[in-house]
Structure formats: C-alpha cells, structure tokens
Amino acid sequence: MVRQRDNRLMDRYVFFAKQSLDPKVLRTAKAIAEDLGVTVLKTGPGTMLVEAEPALVRKLAKSLPDWGKSVESKTYRFPERTRLQRVRRVAGNGR
C-alpha cells in the first residue's frame, strides 16, 4: 500500500487480458481506467499496472469483465548473515 499526499491508501494491481493481446484492447482498457480516475502506471502486452483505491479497482474490474486482476506484491530475499571466517596466520609464514 502506498499513502498519497491527502492520506488516502492506494494499492497497486496488475490487470491482465485473459484472451487477447491486441493493442486496441489495451488502449480501450487504459481509457476506461483513466475515465474512472484510476492511475495507470505502466502497460505491456496484455497487462496494465494500476494504482487506485480498492473501491475504484472494483469498479474497474466490473468494467473490464474479460480481464483478470491481482494485487502487486514484491518480496525481497536477504542473504543469511554468517560470521566471517578469519584466516589464522601460520607461525613460519614470515608475515
């Protein structure tokens, strides 16, 4: 969730065309989303990343019955922290 300047919570959703990758279908869907007040962040072949309040997303989903949607989620993996292995100096090494 992203908090806007006016303190509204916004979610990001990925809409995807279930059947068609036609650019005309994508342009029409983008126009419908913008008419509803949904912010279209990025588009790709048959996909559209939008940011809006959940109520607007429900309206958009009803307006685009041939499109599926899912909540955008990002996960991050951090490496496991381990102790560093110190190299011991050997007595006869000369260093």
The pLDDT of residue 90 is 65
pLDDT tens readout for residues 36-75:
999 999 998 889 999 999 999 999 999 999 999 988 876 5
Alpha-helical runs (H) found in 1-95: 23-36, 54-63
Four-residue CA torsion sign, 2, 4, 9, 10: negative
Chain mean pLDDT for the chain: 80
Confidence of residue 77 (pLDDT cuts 50, 70, 90): low
Q: Is pLDDT of 9 > 70?
A: no
Structural domain boundaries in the chain? 11-42+53-71
